Chains A and B, each alone.
Chain A
Amino acid sequence: MAHTEHAHGDNYLNHEKGIWSWMTTVDHKRIGLMYLAAVLFFFLIGGIFALIIRLNLMKAGAPVVDANTYNKLMTYHGAIMVFLVIIPAIPASIGNFVLPMMLGAKDVAFPKLNLASYYIYLLGALFACLALFLGGADTGWTFYTPYSIRTSGAVIMVIFGAFIAGFSSILTGLNFIVSIQKLRAPGLTWNRLPLMLWALYATSVIQVLATPVLAITLVLLIFERTFQIGIFDPALGGDPVLFQHFFWFYSHPAVYIMILPAMGVISEIIPVFSRKPIFGYRAIALASFGIALVAFIVWGHHLFVSGQSELANFIFSLLTMFVAVPTGVKVFSWVGTMYKGSIRFNAPMLYAMGFLELFTIGGVTGVFLATLAIDVHLTDTYFVIAHFHYVMVGGTIMGFVGGMHYWFPKATGRMYNERIAMWAFILIIIGFNLTFFPQFIAGSEGMPRRYWSQLPEFDLMNRLSTYGSWFLAAGFIVVAYNMIKSAKSGPISGPNPWRALTLEWQSPSPPPHDNFGPTAPTVTQWPYEYKGANV
């Protein structure tokens, strides 16, 4: 660190020294980086589980793990990726870093609470991972009753871990809402708010409103196993479908907790690298809230074949179609921004374009699944797996990795290697499509999800998918290599290498401890006044 000090002077990385100063920090930038490290660690673990799953399904009748282990790997892959990676990925790591800076504030509204939510997250993760050594869980990440009540293993611990991690999500959401409402710099009116913040605001609203319902549902499930309360247990007069309703009342909106922040990242990257004002600013901002609103009234589409009434199915199917409206508005606005722009193909822009491709495929196949007659055929097949991986990985992870590249010079003061970043992107985009596109085909031909093995006629598609997973893994390894190496020895980036107009770029890179130094920024214009290649 000694030589960086010279290059950058006093900044948040060297303001205080030692591991203890990191563990007790209330600086949102450091907390963001600590979240990032934890999220990437769990991404690695969840990714390794995914690679084993793919290896297991490579050839019919040639498993590499036994069925029990497979069920646990599948459960853990889902639970880790959902609760410990994708939900906190963008808001808690990148969001924590950039939100106060975009506001022109010195920190989030409640800095100590911010640190607390980090440790709550770690505690939840600890419970979930310790359970792995005490028998684990084979319920799938959805914990459907009555199986989750009957099965052996450390199910309670896993559920408790998810319950605790949920509080971290609630507290981060609360912190962000209050920060955006109360800590905006002078002149930063709602109409000048960067779209990343609109997206994080909408995300936080969902986190605050939906997560408590999951919390109580998981508590009830723990009581099912400990006190036999029977509310979700048909043998005791309860209703397992009620569990599914409660679960998806959270977990469907959670899908938008995952995707909205990525949409925010994309909304920042596209105008900067197109050198054009964002097209449809207000439409994109409102669409974030449109999505948040619709998020709460479509959960029943997860229950089309659960015995829910036909009327409910019809209504939920119709409402689900409405999701396509605000998301369509966003996609068209991004494409409209790029139209006749002076586009620079830096890594963040590549990921933004990757997002547009993959998210659109994921979104359109979502409309297939919202259609009742088709969904009955596709329920619990690999088509569903492919659909939500296109949205979750193709959408959220693209936004996440794109955002990591975009704000990399801000966080480290150095520039990543553009050439290596491009090759990593090529590996990822090829690997991703090769992994998941064949799953659409296998799924539409009837290959069921969650199964330990498959029929030989699905072998070709599964083999392609497994090969793809290797490309995908290689791409992420290259990203990691590039980031680690560049953070140490990349060229100095300067405060604003992208010539972006949002507030965080007005501060030195890496930013000082209190973000902007003695003079707090004042906002006089909209953050998207780009005027062609040179301005």
Chain B
Amino acid sequence: MSQYNEMNPAPHHYGHHFESAEHEFTTAKQGMWIFMVTEVLMIGAIFVGYLLMRGRYPEAFHAAHQVLNVKLGALNTIVLIVSSATMVLGVSAAQRGNNKRAINMLMATIACGAIFCVVKYFEYSHKFHEGIFPGGMYHYEGLTIPHVPLFFSFYFVMTGIHAFHVVVGMALIFWTITRIKRGQISKQFFTPVELVGFYWHFVDLVWIYLFPLLYLLG
């Protein structure tokens, strides 16, 4: 039955409270979807706060958004879209039992995540250098309209929480790579790779909303 059994011939032992490996897999997927819903609500609350304040102080938010570097933001958008593609390829390779290819694709995904973080680091440090900090710590002299600091509070909190999720995602992908290397992932059992894939796509999707909301919306 299995074509790629050189690394992992042993069948997966599912939990004693499930009827079959398939039952365990669909249950795990459902759990992950629900977890994604909680993430959406968590990030959703702060989106609501941002849009509310944006509606209240449109001039300040318009002026503030022009300070952001659209080119770097766009670069990061492309990097994350590419990472989502490599993630899909990695998951599909793992499903087919092609472990070598799966590892390569997952490594590529981690690399994209790392590029994203490096670009973000340069953006942040440039802002800090100019005195652009959140809220009460803001002291950039180039832009002194009231409520501009509030925009940057949202900018740093939203992108910061997103970046935290990127780092967690990278750690999770690394964990799946170690599991593949230990021979624990096979055609019969690839749940961890698939679920970490869900998570990574979610993190990308959040950025797809963050980029236009913060960088582009005039």
B41 in the interface, Cβ–Cβ < 8 Å?
A: yes
* Residue of A with least CB distance to B151: A237
Q: Which residue of B31, B43, B135 contacts A233 across the interface (Cβ within 8 Å)? A: B135
Quick one: given A177-B34, A208-B34, A220-B157, are A182 and B49 in contact (CB under 8 Å)? no
A473 in the interface, Cβ–Cβ < 8 Å?
A: no
Q: Complex: how many Å from CA A237 to CA B42?
A: 23
Residues of B near A183 (CB, < 8 A) are: 17, 27
* Residue of B with least CB distance to A106: B17
Size of B's binding interface in residues, CB under 8 A: 38
Q: Which residue of A109, A212, A228, A237 contacts B45 across the interface (Cβ within 8 Å)? A: A212
Residues of A near B146 (CB, < 8 A) are: 237
Residues of A near B15 (CB, < 8 A) are: 107, 111
Residues of A near B45 (CB, < 8 A) are: 212-213, 216-217, 246, 249
Q: Complex: how many Å from CA A239 to CA B48?
A: 13
* Residue of A with least CB distance to B134: A229
Q: Which residue of A178, A213, A249 contacts B27 across the interface (Cβ within 8 Å)? A: A178
Q: Complex: how many Å from CA A216 to CA B154?
A: 13
Residues of B near A231 (CB, < 8 A) are: 49, 53, 135, 150, 153-154, 157
Contact with B along A491-535 (1 / 0, CB 8 A): 000000000000000000000001000000000000000000000
Interface size class, chain A: 35 or more
Contact: A212 with B16, CB < 8 Å?
A: no
A209 in the interface, Cβ–Cβ < 8 Å?
A: yes
Output the least CB separation between B57 and chain A (Å): 8
Contact: B150 with A237, CB < 8 Å?
A: yes
Contact: A228 with B30, CB < 8 Å?
A: no
Q: Complex: how many Å from CA A174 to CA B146?
A: 43
Quick one: given A107-B17, A216-B46, A249-B45, are A230 and B154 in contact (CB under 8 Å)? no
Q: Complex: how many Å from CA A236 to CA B53?
A: 13
Residues of B near A208 (CB, < 8 A) are: 34, 37-38
Quick one: given A182-B27, A211-B38, are A228 and B135 in contact (CB under 8 Å)? yes
Output the least CB separation between A114 and chain B (Å): 11
Q: Which residue of B16, B42, B147, B153 contacts A216 across the interface (Cβ within 8 Å)? A: B42
B35 in the interface, Cβ–Cβ < 8 Å?
A: yes
Quick one: given A105-B17, A178-B27, are A229 and B34 in contact (CB under 8 Å)? no
Residues of B near A108 (CB, < 8 A) are: 17
Quick one: given A227-B134, A228-B137, are A216 and B43 in contact (CB under 8 Å)? yes
Contact: A228 with B31, CB < 8 Å?
A: no
Q: Complex: how many Å from CA A230 to CA B38?
A: 25
A-to-B contact residues, CB < 8 Å: 100, 105-111, 113, 170, 174-175, 177-178, 181-183, 208-213, 215-217, 219-220, 223, 227-231, 233, 236-239, 242, 246, 249, 514
